[in-house]
Structure 1
Amino acid sequence: MSIFRNLSSRAKEDELMDDFSMGGAELSEALVHLRRLNKIFAAPGPTRYGVEKLWRMMGSPASLSVLDVGAGSGDVNRKLLEWADSRGVELHIILVDLTEEACQEAAALFKDEPRIQVQRADVRDLPDASADIVTGSQFVHHFDGDELVDIVSHMLRASRYGVVINDIHRHQVSYTAVWLTTRLISRNRYIRHDGPLSVAKGFTARDWKELKRRLNHETMTFSWKPLFRYAVVIPHPLKPGGKESGIGYA
């Protein structure tokens, strides 16, 4: 994949990780290298920001459940655990992914952490109101058009209070930085191909405005965060009859 690419619109091609017929040791290695990339590019920040924002809107409860879909090895949730410790919040996190390799990596990474549970599942099959907050880190850029609207709608359905999306800003600086970094830290085929492509499949403010319009969700907000990421917070709207979903909209 070339370092030079037109980023005026979102890329359409699939990432290697989207092919579930592949996998094995190479994918497991890629998940390890992806954790290094996440650390380099401050990936956990937008998730922590969004969860804290929704938590405050909920009234800062003493206990909180989070369901992270498309979680991979779930490493971004380490910062959530640190946040919960600093706030005295009893936090329970469920990491959900479709691939066996991701679930194995997540289970190994958090084997000594009782607050984290790993589940192999598709977000489309999760029960309604499975957790207080549903998060997705570098997950929704795998979808486009009607499928993107559908997957975010399923995330909302699976949450009691709302959704937090942490995803990549499509920009030449972030694309170049990821292209160079993946080649410096890894020879893994997944990392070198999917890393830059994930930026090319990422979002700009215009894309988030379009998603907000298509969801018809006035309370959805998005904000730019370092390093070239967006934190998107989607509280549940008013329920039928004018009753609030439990979130204060002050």
Structure 2
Amino acid sequence: MPFFRTLTIRAKEDELMDDFSMGGEELSEALQHLRRLNRIFPAAAPTLHGVDKLWQANGRPPKLSILDVGAGSGDINTKLLKWADRKGISLQITLVDMTVEACEEARRLFREEPRVKVIQGNVKDLDERAADIVTGSQFIHHFDGEELVDMVAHMLQASRYGIVINDIHRHAVSYTAVWLMTRLISRNRYIRHDGPLSVAKGFKGRDWRELKAKLKMSSMTYSWRPLFRYSVVIPRIANQSSSDRKGR
């Protein structure tokens, strides 16, 4: 992955993690190293911000279910569990990922946490209103165009209250920081290739405005969060059916 590249528009290249014919021990190692990156660049904060916002908007219910799609090893959810403990919320989290390696890593990480379960699967196969809140952290940047709109629509369909998207701000500072840090902490080719590319595939404000227009969701909000991330919240309209969304 080159050190210098244009960030004017979103990158189109596929990440190595998008190739499901690969994987194995190298991918498992990459997921472990990704957890280190998530701690260095506080990756959980935008998700926590959005979940708290939806929780408050829906009357601060004492019970809450969260479905994290494209979850990887799901490490950012440790912050949500601590948040629930502070708030006295009975929280249940379901992690969904398509790869065996991610599910195995998630099960290892949460092996002593009964509030978390792991499912190997595709967001497109989830039941309607499967959880109160559906989250996606560093997941949505894998998609573009109509595929991006379709993926967000499926996330909305699977939620009762709405969805929270946590993704990367496409910016020269974040790209440089991730490029350097991935080379400092890892020799894993997934990390060195996909880390900077994730930033190049990330978003700017105009990208979120375009998505908002395509979804026709006036209630969608997005806010910049440290460090170079966006917290995007899309409440689900109570009387909006899946057929309504498909008709757009």
Question: How does the TM-score come out when normalised to structure 1?
Answer: 0.95
Q: CA deviation at 1:237?
A: 2.2
Q: Secondary structure at the match of 2:7?
A: coil
Would you say 1:236 and 2:229 are equivalent positions?
A: no
* Counterpart contact for 1:217–1:237, Cα < 8 Å: no
Structure 2 counterparts to residues 31-180 of structure 1, below 5 A: 31-180=31-180
Q: Deviations over 1:53-96 (max 9, x none)?
A: 00000100000000000000000000000000000000000000
Q: Deviations over 1:26-64 (max 9, x none)?
A: 000000000000000000000000000000001000000
**Ranges in structure 2 where 5+ consecutive residues have no aligned partner:** 242-248
Residue of structure 2 equivalent to 1:20: 20
Residue of structure 2 equivalent to 1:10: 10
Would you say 1:203 and 2:203 are equivalent positions?
A: yes
Structure-2 separation of matches of 1:238 and 1:97:
27
Q: Secondary structure at the match of 2:239?
A: coil
* Counterpart contact for 1:165–1:232, Cα < 8 Å: yes
Q: Secondary structure at the match of 1:124?
A: helix
Structure-1 separation of matches of 2:58 and 2:84:
15
Q: Deviations over 1:6-44 (max 9, x none)?
A: 000000000000000000000000000000000000000
2:22 maps to amino acid: M
Moved beyond 4 Å, runs of 4+: none
Question: How does the TM-score come out when normalised to structure 2?
Answer: 0.96
How many residues align? The count is 241
Structure-2 separation of matches of 1:25 and 1:15:
17
Residue of structure 1 equivalent to 2:30: 30
Between the aligned residues of both structures, percent identity stands at 69
Q: CA deviation at 1:225?
A: 0.2
Q: Secondary structure at the match of 2:162?
A: strand
Q: CA deviation at 1:238?
A: 4.8
* Counterpart contact for 1:149–1:214, Cα < 8 Å: yes
Q: Deviations over 1:168-217 (max 9, x none)?
A: 00000000000000000000000000000000000000000000000000
Q: What root-mean-square deviation, in Å, do the aligned CA atoms of Structure 1 and Structure 2 show? A: 0.9
